[in-house]
Amino acid sequence: MTQAFNAEYKKHGLSVRIERVQSGQQLNLYEQELRAGKVSNDIMDLVDPGTFLGLNNQGKFTSHCSPHYKDYPEWAIGKNCGYFYYVAYYQYLTYNTDSVKGGDIPRSWNDLLDPKWKGKVSLPDPRIGGGHYYFVFTMMKLFGPQWFEKMRGNEPLLVSSHGTVNSQMMSGERLVGVNISVLSRRDGKFPGGKGAPVGESFPKEGVTLLAGGMAVTKNGPNTAGGKVFIEWASSLAGQKAIARLGHLSLRKDYTSDAGDNLSKIKYNWWDPDEMLKQREPWTKEALKLLGSG
């Protein structure tokens, strides 16, 4: 993403640099900077629709309507063009392909509850990151709190990131888990992947579609430059640079290199309003039922 943008705009004196931090840390820093009246970044990028909705409702983004927004579904654009979902990927089931084969491959979220996986399940810790909460919300919506109560008996390992889940799938430390396509496809046996023994499985109840939001911050050091970046990121050229292995574009005219077509895939897209409302109580309840409250 940075290489593609800088290649086009650096000659005009504009470039971008990405600083990666954990979601909670990023939000805390942004709130502190807003109160201090000195915001350090021009673009915010998070995989958490509820959080983006809340910040936008509080007027903490700079509205900017990119001319390319017409090429996206209506739900992919925040109110008053406060933000847009610039990328998406799947949250689904993955497994170690050396040890899990045939009928043992999980085909449902409920397959993780099978006693044969006791001590072999890896889950993203609900306390960390927006993408982790997607998992909590999905289980609550599809099955209710009893899913977590039953999962506790399988002694799942709660880990700090999907990256840890992915590493455990590859090493065989854990055999099944909740992962994201941008990791499993990068490292697994997919076109362009590294060939590691990590496989993907689309649960019959539907994958969860995670969407990364992007917005121009409030009173950043270069708001005009931030708007230029938003317009580039939402263009077809920008999306081709961003939506690489394991990532998907939400543009109506885009099909992934792997042939993914959202119109042919069963997925769950959750209402950001409800996600925001239920975040704290459902996260606490899930942790309590898992024995990690």
Residue 113 contacts residue 235 (beta carbons within 8 Å): no
Residue 158 and residue 285 in one domain = yes
3-state secondary structure of 201: strand
Residues 191 and 283 in one domain: yes
pLDDT at residue 19 in the model: 92
Determine how β-strand 207-217 pairs with β-strand 61-62: antiparallel
Confidence of residue 79 (pLDDT cuts 50, 70, 90): very high
Interval 4-23 mean pLDDT: 93
Q: Strand, helix or coil at 71?
A: helix
> What is residue 1's DSSP assignment?
-
Average pLDDT rounded to a whole number, residues 63-82: 96
**Does the pLDDT value for residue 48 go beyond 70?**
yes
Number of domains in the chain: 2
Same domain, 171 and 286: yes
pTM as predicted:
0.82
Q: What residues make up the domain containing 235?
A: 2-87+212-257
Q: Residue 133: inside a domain, yes or no?
A: yes
What burial letters (b/e) apply to 10-39, b meaning 16+ CB within 10 Å? eeeebebeeeeeebeebbeebeebbeeeeb
- Express each pLDDT in 159-209 by its tens digit: 999 999 999 999 999 999 999 999 999 999 888 899 999 999 999 999 999
Query: Is residue 226 domain-shared with residue 181, that is, in the same domain?
Result: no
